């Protein structure tokens, strides 16, 4: 006891909590959580020596921690349930100090959750009380999310996956099917899945012979597809309830899908090769959810915006075949959302839009180059992206509008992500040379005669040394020219008289 007191005193003076073991344990967890990244391994080694901590690692049950249980006073939105994620994150960090590859120790640590899952399984197989089952499921989801967040090594994460799959994860799938319309239930489950598919610190680096990466994605696909299809049945939702009842869950699904697609632990070509539809199902669910959202809502809720535009960037970067084969109305929806996102005040959103637009424009430029060649083989290769190319040729105003938006941002606004905007801009100029010339003339003609020559020289320097291709060296040259162009044009327009205020490039 005296040794414990000395450790507590050294760790920050929390002697006031030394009377009861439960309070002592919670004090340690609060200390771990407060320090977070700043906490050192040496301090954690001292923490796990405390008797209360060792006891807690074996006895994190409602008997010793009442907030882990279910009482008649609890309700689904209780704030105490949210604290459980933090509790288990801190607790798991302490477990990892001496865990290593000891699977028996991990199973022992997970025993309280195993018992709860077994009880929940029995409830699902009988005429159960839904409120009780929901509370148990919400608590388990939050607990597991906290544990998963702390497991940043391959060995420890694999232990959790082997414990969770296949038996317990099927219960989560069943819950999504039953209670898709109740965000208090679906939100913690979807967030848990988003955490499980997140390849943080390369923890999802499974062995070559292991199917775990594919199995994990299949489970994520099932959950996203189930939720995405079921949420469409809600019908009309009032404006003040559309985010909590629908858009929040969709946003989490987008985050989960993005994490899975960008995790580099699944070869997605395997699904098509062996006739597995889970990859296509996930993408189709994404499209259904996306098309059910109006453009205004995409930018009205920041979390939804970030999750959508980040996912779109991933799709355009690594799955352009899917994007190039979208139906024309879907392509127009996506490009319209990009056009609106370019104007977003949030640079994280506008930068993601620029990256997505760059991948799309680069693809179009390459496909157009192939289609213009007389080689039969080249024409066959170009057919893959023909639908996207045809859609753009039939609706040239979409790319022209984005060219105008980017030029206006660079010339007239305090552009904080100028590099990001310069990348798709070159491709847009090369695809719309005639329209770019019109924009240029429009801007110059609205200035004083003495400024027109200066502005004309700025535009000449912008394309100086730039070739008709999108190779990295050529892109870098254009980006350098753009930086000089921005500086010179801003200075030129600054000295314009008030009577001849510059007109934006879309006028």
- DSSP string across 450-485: HHHHHHHHHHHHHTTT--SS--HHHHHHHHHHHHHH
Model confidence at 498, pLDDT cuts 50, 70, 90, reads very low
pLDDT digits (tens, 9 = 90+) for 460-480: 999 999 999 999 999 999 999
Q: 163 and 110 in contact (C-beta within 8 Å)?
A: yes
Rounded distance between C-alpha atoms, residue 25 and residue 31, angstroms: 10
Residue 232 class from Cβ within 10 Å (0-12 exposed, 13-18 middle, 19+ buried)?
middle
Rounded distance between C-alpha atoms, residue 91 and residue 110, angstroms: 12
The most distant pair of C-alpha atoms in the chain lies apart, rounded to whole Å, by: 87
Q: 278 and 266 in contact (C-beta within 8 Å)?
A: no
State the DSSP string of 28-92: HHHHHHHHGGG--HHHHHHHTTSHHHHHHHH--STTT-GGGS--TT--TT-HHHHHHHHHHHHHH
Q: 458 and 410 in contact (C-beta within 8 Å)?
A: no
Rounded distance between C-alpha atoms, residue 498 and residue 132, angstroms: 69
pTM confidence score? 0.88
Q: 428 and 402 in contact (C-beta within 8 Å)?
A: yes
Nearest to 306 by CA among 228, 250, 265: 250
45-69 mean pLDDT: 80
Nearest to 91 by CA among 46, 42, 56, 133: 56
pLDDT digits (tens, 9 = 90+) for 389-445: 888 889 999 999 999 999 999 988 888 888 999 999 999 999 999 999 999 998 888
Model confidence at 189, pLDDT cuts 50, 70, 90, reads very high
Rounded distance between C-alpha atoms, residue 277 and residue 364, angstroms: 28
- Record the tokens describing residue 116, joined without a space: 């709860």
pLDDT digits (tens, 9 = 90+) for 355-399: 999 999 999 998 888 777 655 555 554 555 578 888 888 999 999
Lowest mean pLDDT among 127-141, 208-222, 329-343, 430-444: 127-141
Percent of the chain with pLDDT over 70: 84
């Amino acid at each position: 006891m005296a040794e414990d007191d000395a450790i507590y005193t050294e760790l920050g003076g929390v002697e006031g909590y030394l009377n009861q073991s439960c309070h002592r344990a919670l004090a340690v967890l609060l200390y771990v959580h407060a320090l977070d990244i700043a906490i050192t391994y040496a301090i954690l080694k001292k923490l796990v020596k405390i008797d209360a901590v060792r006891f807690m690692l074996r006895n994190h049950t409602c008997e010793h921690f009442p907030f882990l249980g279910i009482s008649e006073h609890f309700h689904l939105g209780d704030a105490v349930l949210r604290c459980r994620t933090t509790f288990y994150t801190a607790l798991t960090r302490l477990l990892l100090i001496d865990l290593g590859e000891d699977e028996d120790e991990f199973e022992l640590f997970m025993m309280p959750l195993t018992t709860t899952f077994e009880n929940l399984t029995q409830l699902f197989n009988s005429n159960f009380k839904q409120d009780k089952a929901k509370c148990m499921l919400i608590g388990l989801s939050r607990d597991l999310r906290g544990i998963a967040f702390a497991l940043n090594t391959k060995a420890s994460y694999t232990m959790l996956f082997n414990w969770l799959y296949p038996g317990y994860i099927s219960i989560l799938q069943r819950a999504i099917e039953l209670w898709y319309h109740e965000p208090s239930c679906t939100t913690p489950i979807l967030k848990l899945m988003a955490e499980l598919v997140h390849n943080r610190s390369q923890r999802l680096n499974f062995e070559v012979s292991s199917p775990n990466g594919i199995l994990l994605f299949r489970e994520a696909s099932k959950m996203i597809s189930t939720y995405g299809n079921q949420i469409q049945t809600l019908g009309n939702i009032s404006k003040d309830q559309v985010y909590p009842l629908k858009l929040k869950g969709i946003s989490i699904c987008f985050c989960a899908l993005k994490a899975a697609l960008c995790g580099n632990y699944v070869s997605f070509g395997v699904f098509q090769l062996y006739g597995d539809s889970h990859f296509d199902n996930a993408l189709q669910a994404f499209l259904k959810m996306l098309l059910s959202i109006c453009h205004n809502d995409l930018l009205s809720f920041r979390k939804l915006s970030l999750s959508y535009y980040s996912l779109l960037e991933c799709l355009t970067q690594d799955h352009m075949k899917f994007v190039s084969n979208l139906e024309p109305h879907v392509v127009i929806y996506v490009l319209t959302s990009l056009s609106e996102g370019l104007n977003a005040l949030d640079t994280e959103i506008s930068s993601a839009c620029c990256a997505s637009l760059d991948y799309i424009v680069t693809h179009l430029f390459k496909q157009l180059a192939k289609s213009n060649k007389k080689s039969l083989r080249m024409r066959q290769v170009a057919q893959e992206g023909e639908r996207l190319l045809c859609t753009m040729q039939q609706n040239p105003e979409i790319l022209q509008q984005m060219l105008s938006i980017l030029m206006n941002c660079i010339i007239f606004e305090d552009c904080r992500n100028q590099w990001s905007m310069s990348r798709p801009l070159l491709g847009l100029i090369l695809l719309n040379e005639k329209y770019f010339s019109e924009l240029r003339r429009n801007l110059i003609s609205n200035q004083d005669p003495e400024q027109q020559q200066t502005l004309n020289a700025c535009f000449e320097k912008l394309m100086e040394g730039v070739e008709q291709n999108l190779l990295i060296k050529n892109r870098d040259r254009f980006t350098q020219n753009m930086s000089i162009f921005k500086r010179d044009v801003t200075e030129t327009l600054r000295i314009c008289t008030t009577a001849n205020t510059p007109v934006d490039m879309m006028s």
